[in-house]
A and B are shown apart, each in its own frame.
Chain A
């Protein structure tokens, strides 16, 4: 099962490398990873999707917590939260073949066509993990020329979870 882990870290050189090297060194996987500063310039939030059973996720959480630059680790999967991912997908549609089908599909997902070229249509889609996987599944029959995903980001919904950062 995929788990979304939010990790608040000190925004210092090398912190990303520390986290990634710990995860790979201990044989875990990261499916997606997103890193950006928070409202506090000195703190970054890393959101990673880590596949694994409860035992593995517990270990990942503890090992992350142990790192000296890590402020807090929260497994969002265990609590009410909202998650989103942005994907940009460029689908082949040579000579406009399939184009209306692709546009229709996109519309069903509230996705936006952001570019149309001779050979392709580029669609931008934002959704939670379920939507994203349904969307990608439905696009499988088409020829996907390129795809870029932002990685999942998530925020908690519970009142208590919205802790101040410092």
Chain B
């Protein structure tokens, strides 16, 4: 009798190893691709991975794996998954985790750990991963018993994807991966302290509707939260219902179509004149899932100084953090906007919109055109044109990132992926590969600099290997351009530690066809199995891009561009909109 019961129980809840629980948990959560890198402390999980129904992608550096999972998550809204070993494997993920954390990207990162009994003994490849990653994750777990593993995996995904999303680390000691448990995967996650289901207050929405009704010069200021909250459709309706011009942050790019008559494009340090003027002159600023980053506000006391400020955010702590707040609406953005639309009467702000339109007409993003030299901004325009605006743009960090934001017309959410909060050079290429895994049918373009691309160049081989063609466009100016620009503008032209590209190159000189390239990106790309070309002339840009898009292969297109182009407009850090510099020639 006893034996029968045991057998029945065993059938319903078979024994599984901790490692198998990890794989089963990932399957249950709908993991499609797992990015990672093996090592001693995760061998058991890799052993189970052998039979897993989802795809495993081997990166060439753990940072690359996390950025790939991040790119996958940004492109889809699904939770990205990665798996690495203990010690150095785990510490290599830190930059990737911090990048995802700052931008609120849902990730689950599984790390191996030395056996439980050896923790704290400075064992081989031991690192205090929970301690190291605590400030750069939304939450992390050290698994202490195999029986809690199934529910921890479920909790990790729940935490990563709800509320303000973010990365979660699950650190699993090796012995726990080998132990057996009968614990099933929980059907639902119940956590005592973590309650992400915030109900907004209808009264706040009512107050907001009244403020819009009373406003003559409203502006919507849209951040990444509107994309994470899938609220683009509601946003579009709202803007048109009450005729409100819309500017977006770098992270909010694409949440509102930039070809819409109400779009003012990006605001902030390198934002459009129209967006920054509008925020300066508005009487009501409605922030939608934006967090008033200092790259947006500049001098806080001058920011939107004539306006009542409304913050709509899922994160209570983001409300009133740096900028005063006349009304805070805490809640998920989509339901908040839906409730607002249900009560908001149509309204015209024609005079105000006309005024913003005049700024748009007068001060578009512009640059000195050239027939001889490739202007970096021109390359971005051509990417937009050749792809019919359909490309997903993934960037590194620097001047090219700002030009990519300014000169491409973004019309759909998740079409511009960039490390906004942390500003991580090296993000672009691996994140682009992750995005390509997520959207294999869309053209994915990594816009990068000669500096940033070298930080994770090794990942190119992954795109080639898995036939996930990514077009990498290197805007090679021979400098760490953004740093050079600051040295030019704020440090008396003293270029210190920013020259790249050719040894003994004269300052201000363009990379020269006749000399040796350092590194030779074309050879480097070819060594990784990609197609590659170096171009010097503006007329070569469009045909090269076209060929690359049509080839369905991974390409590296190195554009030798004007070396000392600067990103304008620019509001110097910590200053007000009145200090805006807008050199166009």
Given A13-B144, A14-B142, A17-B134, check contact A68 B191 (CB 8 Å). Answer: yes
Residues from chain A with a CB closer than 8 A to the CB of B194 are 68-69
Cα distance A63–B135 in the bound complex, in angstroms = 12
CB-contact partner of B317 in A66, A70, A166, under 8 A: A66
Cα distance A62–B319 in the bound complex, in angstroms = 9
Least CB distance, A71 to chain B, in whole angstroms: 4
A10 touches B144 (CB 8 A): no
B191 touches A71 (CB 8 A): no
User: 1/0 per residue B190-203: CB within 8 Å of A?
Assistant: 01111000000000
A70 touches B193 (CB 8 A): yes
User: 1/0 per residue B133-158: CB within 8 Å of A?
Assistant: 01100110010100000000000000
Closest to B196 in A: A68
B138 touches A68 (CB 8 A): yes
User: 1/0 per residue B152-193: CB within 8 Å of A?
Assistant: 000000010000000000000000000000000000000111
Least CB distance, A64 to chain B, in whole angstroms: 9
Q: Which residues of B (86-144) have their CB < 8 Å from a CB of A?
A: 130-131, 134-135, 138-139, 142, 144
A68 touches B317 (CB 8 A): no
Residues from chain A with a CB closer than 8 A to the CB of B144 are 13
Cα distance A10–B518 in the bound complex, in angstroms = 55
CB-contact partner of A71 in B131, B193, B317, B319, under 8 A: B193
Closest to B319 in A: A62
Does B385 reach chain A (CB closer than 8 Å)?
Answer: no
Does B320 reach chain A (CB closer than 8 Å)?
Answer: yes
Residues from chain B with a CB closer than 8 A to the CB of A68 are 138-139, 159, 191, 193-194
A25 touches B316 (CB 8 A): no
Q: Which residues of A (107-166) have their CB < 8 Å from a CB of B?
A: 166
B193 touches A9 (CB 8 A): yes
CB-contact partner of B320 in A21, A58, A66, under 8 A: A58
Does A2 reach chain B (CB closer than 8 Å)?
Answer: no
CB-contact partner of A21 in B135, B192, B315, under 8 A: B135
Residues from chain A with a CB closer than 8 A to the CB of B192 are 10, 42, 71, 166
Given A68-B159, A68-B193, A68-B194, check contact A62 B135 (CB 8 Å). Answer: no
Does B321 reach chain A (CB closer than 8 Å)?
Answer: yes
Closest to B144 in A: A13
A21 touches B317 (CB 8 A): no
A10 touches B316 (CB 8 A): no
Does A96 reach chain B (CB closer than 8 Å)?
Answer: no
A59 touches B317 (CB 8 A): yes
Residues from chain A with a CB closer than 8 A to the CB of B130 are 14
B134 touches A63 (CB 8 A): no
Does A80 reach chain B (CB closer than 8 Å)?
Answer: no
B193 touches A10 (CB 8 A): yes
Interface size for B (C-beta < 8 A) is 19
Max count, chain B CB within 10 A of own CB: residue among A21, A66, A70: A66
Cα distance A57–B131 in the bound complex, in angstroms = 25
Residues from chain B with a CB closer than 8 A to the CB of A69 are 193-194
Cα distance A22–B134 in the bound complex, in angstroms = 9
A62 touches B134 (CB 8 A): no
User: 1/0 per residue A78-100: CB within 8 Å of B?
Assistant: 00000000000000000000000
A25 touches B135 (CB 8 A): yes
Given A13-B142, A17-B134, check contact A62 B317 (CB 8 Å). Answer: yes
Cα distance A59–B315 in the bound complex, in angstroms = 12
Residues from chain A with a CB closer than 8 A to the CB of B321 are 59
Least CB distance, A20 to chain B, in whole angstroms: 10
Residues from chain B with a CB closer than 8 A to the CB of A71 are 192-193
Q: Which residues of A (30-84) have their CB < 8 Å from a CB of B?
A: 42, 55, 58-59, 62-63, 65-71
Residues from chain A with a CB closer than 8 A to the CB of B317 are 59, 62-63, 65-66
A62 touches B316 (CB 8 A): yes
Cα distance A131–B430 in the bound complex, in angstroms = 60
Cα distance A9–B139 in the bound complex, in angstroms = 14
B134 touches A21 (CB 8 A): yes
Residues from chain B with a CB closer than 8 A to the CB of A25 are 135
Cα distance A13–B159 in the bound complex, in angstroms = 18
Closest to A72 in B: B193
Least CB distance, B130 to chain A, in whole angstroms: 6
Cα distance A22–B135 in the bound complex, in angstroms = 7
User: 1/0 per residue B522-537: CB within 8 Å of A?
Assistant: 0000000000000000
A17 touches B131 (CB 8 A): yes
Least CB distance, B423 to chain A, in whole angstroms: 19
A18 touches B134 (CB 8 A): yes
Residues from chain B with a CB closer than 8 A to the CB of A9 are 193
Closest to A69 in B: B193
Residues from chain B with a CB closer than 8 A to the CB of A66 are 315-317
Cα distance A10–B193 in the bound complex, in angstroms = 7
Cα distance A113–B287 in the bound complex, in angstroms = 60
Residues from chain B with a CB closer than 8 A to the CB of A14 are 130, 142
Least CB distance, B314 to chain A, in whole angstroms: 11
Least CB distance, B198 to chain A, in whole angstroms: 11
Least CB distance, B327 to chain A, in whole angstroms: 15
Cα distance A55–B324 in the bound complex, in angstroms = 10
User: 1/0 per residue B319-359: CB within 8 Å of A?
Assistant: 11100000000000000000000000000000000000000
Cα distance A9–B191 in the bound complex, in angstroms = 12
Closest to A25 in B: B135
Given A68-B138, A166-B192, 15 extra CB contacts under 8 A:
A9-B193, A10-B192, A10-B193, A14-B142, A17-B131, A21-B134, A21-B135, A58-B320, A59-B317, A62-B317, A65-B317, A67-B139, A68-B194, A69-B193, A71-B192
Q: 5 A-B pairs, CB-CB below 8 angstroms? A: A14-B142, A17-B131, A22-B135, A42-B192, A69-B194
Nearest 7 Cβ contacts at the A-B interface: A62-B317, A68-B139, A71-B193, A68-B194, A62-B316, A25-B135, A63-B317
Interface residues of A (CB under 8 A from B): 9-10, 13-14, 17-18, 21-22, 25, 42, 55, 58-59, 62-63, 65-71, 166
